[in-house]
A and B are shown apart, each in its own frame.
Chain A
Amino acid sequence: MSFVALAFAYLRRRWGQALLSMLVGALGVSAMATILMGFDAVPESARRAWGGVDLVVGPKGSALDLVLCCALHVSDPRGLVAMKTAMAAVHSPMVRAAAPIALGDNIDGLRIMGTTPAILDVYRAKLAEGHMWTDKLQAVLGASAARILNLKVGDSFVGAHGLSAGGELHALFPYKVTGILQPTGSALDRLVLTDIETVRYIHVEQAKAEVAERGATDEEPGLGVPDAATAVITSYRSPTAAAFMPRQIDATDTLSAGSPSFEIARLESYARPLMQAITGLGLLLVFIAAAGAAAGLLSSMNARTRDLALLRALGANSLKIATVAFAEAAMIAFAALAVGAALTAVLMAACQRILAEKTGLLFTPHLEINQIGMVLAGTAVVVIVAALWPALRAANASVEELLQ
């Protein structure tokens, strides 16, 4: 029986109080770790998602909307642009690649995006197998889309209307898979690409078929209109383009420009106070846990005055007696650390799954070595703070009490 084992035996005797201190501590640790990880991981996952897209040009409106819709593919389009006008606006030696995109259909919630082969240049993407489309109703799948849909080159599938799963099927217009892209780590991986003319063709033909059948159509003219596109996405050749191009485009009457890096940085700056508030809450929880553990230790040390005096009588020095108090605090703190870490892992896994399902964003949170060091150092500080006073009290236990 060591002094650490004795501390554990004492903890077992007051397991309810110890469990409460541990759980509060675990919540604090989890809140802190979640913030530390999420603070970096969310913008990082967004950066990965927009890939090589430097600028999105769309209809007049919110630049953030444009980025969320056409670079990150997490929200719905707000309108259409004239493709030729938008392409002309980004025609510049400073632009390395530009491609129009048309969003309107999906397959099992994955977006079908009408575009041109220049999209591969924008994302610096390459075919893993097969070839690009050469005709209408042909599709090239992003790497994740091919895996999720379990489709391979030569397979056929039918798209559905709208950008969420469950829309009306375009059953008359099956696509044929002609190629699959190599993974890029960007939102492109979850997209199904097709010729932009195919998107127009399907919407026009679907409308004609509905008119022939019922004398009317639910199809909006939108993407069926020649020259219409959701946006144009571009990749710069020169970083100096970022200084001029968005301003030039915003100055036009019909177009807006959204820069993913700028908009996400802006979003981050809005979120920072919220993150700081949650960090403060996490710190408060950790403080409450420490105070609870200290109060618990103190009361248990008071209840054990005779035991501690006995240890002194049996020859234990102050250090050995203080060890009992510190070991109790350390056990609570490290259990809180372990449970907090497990809780964080579960939370992060859930976030990862929900974000992937709802937005396709690849969320890969992790702690840097220095952050892990900070958490461990913080735990050590909490142990010292919680155990110091009880340990001092214990170390000064009077043996005389046993003989009174």
Chain B
Amino acid sequence: MSSTVLATRSVMLARNGKQFAALPDLQIGTGRSAAIVGPSGSGKTTALMALSGIRAPAQGDVTIDQTSLWNLSGAARVRFRGRRIGLVFQSFHLIDAVSVAANLQLAARCAGLRPSEVRLDHLLHALGIDDLRQRRADRISHGQAQRVAVARALFNKPAVVLADEPTSALDDAAAAGLLALLKEAAVSEGAGLVIATHDRRVLGAVDQIVEMEALK
């Protein structure tokens, strides 16, 4: 039986001061996955911001790892995000100026943690990118960058991994590969996985699907 790592309750989202969408209540356990779906402009990304502590919801509560995210102070929330939430962005956003290893180590530094060499070795090996360790991030392929982005999201042993449109620019094979990678990594690391997407290919790969509700 998996324990709950992420739960939302009555989350309403606002844009320009006006509520425009509601996120159905969501509960995810360790190693489980969910997709937040909806067409463009439906509020998926805004929902992901609320789940990651970046932008406050108009109302409602987000609990991650038994911590009410929006009850934390700003600084504490930033630190909490660094330590307990792993983020995978649509275009991965690696830091080009430094190596693959440094990209992972910076995730720990940002969260105020000491980067563990053992953890680095483990993740690079688990994701099959050990040979890229010292390669600069702007000198790796798109597929390799995906793996590095996933490894970085997992580096601080987060309670939950949030991914924003990770498959949008990928062909079917690559999308399936990345979804499998994200799910495997989340399961093996005991994290919950939430994917915000409008890509229907994701739906068969996750345990739970929630659709954004537009407010009239």
With A1-B105, A403-B164 as contacts: A306 and B93 at CB distance below 8 Å: yes
* Contact partner, B82, options A12, A314, A402, Cβ 8 Å: A314
> What is the CB-to-nearest-CB distance from A326 to chain B, in angstroms, rounded to a whole number?
16
Contacts of B115 on A, CB cut-off 8 Å? 1
Count: A-B pairs, CB below 8 Å: 79
Determine which residue in B45, B83, B97, B107 has the highest number of CB atoms from chain A within 10 A of its CB, and name it.
Answer: B97
Is there a chain B Cβ closer than 8 Å to A120's Cβ?
no
Is there a chain A Cβ closer than 8 Å to B78's Cβ?
yes
Q: How far is the CA of A313 from the CA of B162 in the complex (A)?
A: 12
Determine which residue in A12, A315, A403 has the highest number of CB atoms from chain B within 10 A of its CB, and name it.
Answer: A315
Is there a chain B Cβ closer than 8 Å to A19's Cβ?
no
Chain A residues within 8 Å of chain B by Cβ, number: 25
With A317-B78, A403-B45 as contacts: A6 and B111 at CB distance below 8 Å: no
Contacts of A10 on B, CB cut-off 8 Å? 97
Question: Main SS of chain B's interface residues?
Answer: helix
In the complex, what residue of chain A is closest to B45 when comparing beta carbons?
A403
Contacts of B101 on A, CB cut-off 8 Å? 1
Judging by beta carbons under 8 Å apart, are A315 and B78 in contact?
yes
Is there a chain B Cβ closer than 8 Å to A370's Cβ?
no
Is there a chain B Cβ closer than 8 Å to A367's Cβ?
no
In the complex, what residue of chain B is closest to A1 when comparing beta carbons?
B102
* Contact partner, A315, options B49, B93, B110, Cβ 8 Å: B110
In the complex, what residue of chain B is closest to A319 when comparing beta carbons?
B75
Judging by beta carbons under 8 Å apart, are A317 and B93 in contact?
no
Judging by beta carbons under 8 Å apart, are A6 and B97 in contact?
yes
Is there a chain A Cβ closer than 8 Å to B112's Cβ?
yes
In the complex, what residue of chain B is closest to A309 when comparing beta carbons?
B93
Is there a chain A Cβ closer than 8 Å to B95's Cβ?
yes
Is there a chain A Cβ closer than 8 Å to B154's Cβ?
no
11 additional contacts (CB under 8 A) given A5-B102, A10-B97: A1-B101, A5-B98, A307-B97, A311-B110, A314-B106, A315-B79, A315-B82, A316-B109, A400-B55, A403-B49, A404-B45
Q: Which residues on A are within 8 Å of B, measured CB to CB?
A: 1-3, 5-6, 9-10, 12-13, 306-307, 310-317, 320, 399-400, 402-404
Q: Which residues on B are within 8 Å of A, measured CB to CB?
A: 45, 48-49, 52, 54-55, 75, 78-83, 87, 89, 93, 95-99, 101-102, 105-107, 109-112, 115, 152, 164
Write 21 A-B pairs (CB below 8 A) sorted by A numbering. A3-B109, A5-B102, A6-B98, A12-B97, A307-B97, A311-B106, A311-B110, A312-B78, A313-B54, A313-B81, A314-B82, A315-B78, A315-B81, A315-B107, A316-B109, A316-B111, A320-B109, A400-B49, A400-B54, A402-B89, A402-B93
